[in-house]
Amino acid sequence: EIVLTQSPGTLSLSPGERATLSCRASQSVNSNYLAWYQQKPGQAPRLIIHGASSRATGIPDRFSGSGSETDFTLTISSLEPEDSAVYYCQQYGSSWTFGQGTKVEIK
């Protein structure tokens, strides 16, 4: 099973700042089959990025994904208050596993 480790656990930043979230896989992710989800309290997760770098429909362009093999990054270029959430990475190249999440707090 591919284990995904996300860092940091919590990120506390001000509006307008850049957020960089990391997702590291225990082995190479086939075909860069890596997705990112945003989850706000009491809500279902929402797809943000798939295929490591493709934005899902309706996602603002301040969200971008990058990386390959075992190291992936979600970047929020300029934080908005509504970006406060927990972000999960998920690999779907070999079975399906999620990272433990990174909480983004807006100061």
Partner 1 sequence: QVHLVESGGGLVKPGGSLRLSCAASGFTFSDYYMGWIRQAPGKGLEWLSYIGGSGRVKYYADSMKGRLSISRDNPKNSLYLQLDSLRADDTAVYFCAKSRGGPYYFQHWGQGTLVTVSS
Nearest to partner 1 of 12, 30 (CB atom): 30
Two tokens at 74? 């979600």
Backbone angles phi, psi at 30, to 5 degrees: -55, 130
Nearest to partner 1 of 19, 102 (CB atom): 102
Nearest to partner 1 of 54, 78 (CB atom): 54
Q: How far is the CB of 47 from partner 1 (least distance, A)?
A: 6
Residues at the contact surface with partner 1, assessed by CB under 8 A = 1, 33, 35, 37, 39, 43-47, 50, 56, 88, 90, 92, 95-101
* Whether the Cβ atoms of residue 3 and residue 98 lie closer than 8 Å to each other: no
Is the CA virtual torsion 46, 66, 68, 31 positive or negative?
positive
